């Protein structure tokens, strides 16, 4: 069977199967008329194969370039998103962040970490040092125009902390209502330090 005959056979078989399943619109969307669909219903599998082998070509294949480009763009975006998600997990992203950004369930989070070979470290993670917190703050502001996932990755990587630590810091800053300027811990230390030199 030639390539065109093979394609014709599968299109006919698909259309007939959809009609038998009660989905008349699928055959109509392919361009068949009601009369053609009626005649198609009487065909056997052998009839379909013989029809597709005839030299006359009844199919005309056309590519919608705009839709194709949009589909390729979507596939590329999804692949890049998956790579970013894996990078976040490897960098220690917490489940709450993955749920916030990607709608992940606890099960999805656990399964993906397992597939990536990521194990949990027992005990409470160490708190970032003041210099690490300052670095997170600086790079969080520096990458303010980046997508949220990349912003977390950039800030955490540059500061040498986990994404979980960076996420915890950012949430604490937002909850405290700190505005961009000096790192919050440094500001709080100055505010709570000795006041004698300014008295």
- Nearest Cα neighbor of 135 from 119, 153, 159 is 159
Q: Structure tokens of 157?
A: 């990587």
At residue 193, the pLDDT reads: 45
Residues in the chain: 199
pLDDT of the chain, 199 residues: tens digit per residue: 567 778 888 888 898 889 888 899 998 998 999 998 888 888 888 887 787 777 567 777 788 899 999 999 999 999 999 999 999 999 999 999 999 999 999 999 999 999 999 988 777 878 889 899 999 999 999 998 999 999 999 999 999 999 999 999 999 888 877 655 555 655 444 444 444 333 3
CA distances from 6 to 10, 52, 184 (A): 6, 7, 68
Q: For position 182, what pLDDT does the model report?
A: 56
H helices present in 21-121, as ranges: 24-29, 34-41, 45-53, 65-90, 95-102, 106-115
Q: Quick one: CA torsion of 92, 98, 100, 106, rounded to 10 degrees?
A: -110
Give the tokens for residue 151.
């912003």
Can you tell me the distance from the alpha carbon of 129 to that of 112, in angstroms, rounded to the nearest whole number? 30
Q: Encoding tokens for residue 89?
A: 């997990």
């Amino acid at each position: 069977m030639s390539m065109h005959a093979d394609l014709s056979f599968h299109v006919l078989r698909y259309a007939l199967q959809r009609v038998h399943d009660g989905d008349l619109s699928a055959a109509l969307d392919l361009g068949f008329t009601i009369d053609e669909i009626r005649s198609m219903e009487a065909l056997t599998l052998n009839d379909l194969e013989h029809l597709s082998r005839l030299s006359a070509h009844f199919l005309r294949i056309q590519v919608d370039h705009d839709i194709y480009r949009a589909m390729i763009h979507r596939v590329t975006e999804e692949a890049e998103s998956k790579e970013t998600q894996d990078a976040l997990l490897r960098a220690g992203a917490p489940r709450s962040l993955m749920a916030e950004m990607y709608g992940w369930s606890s099960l999805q989070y656990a399964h993906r970490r397992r597939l990536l070979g990521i194990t949990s470290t027992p005990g409470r993670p160490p708190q970032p040092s003041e210099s690490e917190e300052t670095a997170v703050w600086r790079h969080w502001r520096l990458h303010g125009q980046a997508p949220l996932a990349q912003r977390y990755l950039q800030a955490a990587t540059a500061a040498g902390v986990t994404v979980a630590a960076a996420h915890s810091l950012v949430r604490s800053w937002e909850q405290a209502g700190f505005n961009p300027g000096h790192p919050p811990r440094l500001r709080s230390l100055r505010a709570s330090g000795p006041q004698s030199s300014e008295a």
